[in-house]
Amino acid sequence: MFHQQEREHNMTSPTPHDHFPVIELRRYTMAPGARAAIVHRFDDTLAHRFQHLGGMAFGHFCERDRPDGFAWLRGFRTPAARARIVRAFDDLAHTGGMADRTDVLVLRPLKAGAGIAPLPMAGEAQGIVIAQILPVAPGRMAACERAAERCFAAYHGCGVIEAGILTTPGECAADGALVWLGILSGDAALAALRPAFDAAAAELGAAGLLAAPPELLVLDPGRRSRLRWVSAASVTAPARSSIMAAA
């Protein structure tokens, strides 16, 4: 049973100023032909059930470059809340054996107090969500963060909303990563940004800041995904309070 204070937080539609600084990017490799079914389950029941437990379902997505790839971005208020909610959710609703593999990347906002803010769910899912994952060389996280922020500034432009810059905890972690998260208006904005993505990868790699080439996830949002393209005027407080474009 939740305490009274926890009950007050377990709203299915948190205010835009609620922050969930413990963030998971979960990527599933589904059994062949199973992805459509899991997308429907998330749209119809699973995202709502997860939020009822006190977490934030930021969004669920189909990966464009992997026909059986499914991604889920979810948030928690504290590490303790993450442990509790994950246990309860796993008991409540699992993928029923449809996932052949699950990869989990645990992240936090690059800057304290600037977690991803829930976006309004209005209309049909639109746009594209991009996650550029930079695997950072051991011991180079602080240097990579400084250099990457300069590179990320080149992404700002028409058709782009920066949803957040996330990092793994720990300066010296062998598997550290830096993640730029953005919402794009469509394929034209993605095509326009690809040279900047490539330039950032080349610059950071040449500086010896990366442990491996970056990965660019191109994600199509599910019907009930909160991370979706909306007009800048309707976004109350995206991460880092930075809106770079209007619809």
- Give the closest residue to 181 by CA, choosing from 29, 66, 75: 75
CB-side neighbour CA atoms (13 Å) of 82: 14
Q: What is the mean pLDDT of residues 190-196?
A: 96
Structure tokens of 161?
């909303």
Q: Residue 174 and residue 195: Cα distance in Å, rounded?
A: 28
Residue 116 pLDDT class (50, 70, 90 cuts): confident
Whether 118 is covered by a domain: the verdict is yes
pLDDT (tens digit, 9 = 90+) per residue, 7-57?
Answer: 333 334 444 445 899 999 999 999 999 999 999 999 999 999 999 999 999
pLDDT at 199 over 90: yes
Identify any residues that bridge with 63 across adjacent strands, giving them in sequence order: 219
Q: What is the mean pLDDT of residues 201-225?
A: 96
Q: Residue 49 and residue 111: Cα distance in Å, rounded?
A: 29
Residue 1 pLDDT class (50, 70, 90 cuts): very low
Whether 33 is covered by a domain: the verdict is yes
User: Which domain, by its residues, includes 42?
Assistant: 4-241
Cβ contact 203:142 at 8 Å: no
Whether 246 is covered by a domain: the verdict is no
Backbone angles phi, psi at 37, to 5 degrees: -65, -40
- Residue 117's region, left for phi above 0, alpha for psi from -120 to 50, else beta, is beta
Whether 247 is covered by a domain: the verdict is no
The CATH number given to whatever domain includes residue 68 is: 3.30.70.100
Whether 163 is covered by a domain: the verdict is yes
DSSP structural state of residue 222: P
Instruction: Give the pLDDT of residue 171.
Output: 52
Q: How many domains does the chain contain in total?
A: 1
Q: What is the mean pLDDT of residues 57-62?
A: 95
Whether 108 is covered by a domain: the verdict is yes
Residue 90 pLDDT class (50, 70, 90 cuts): confident
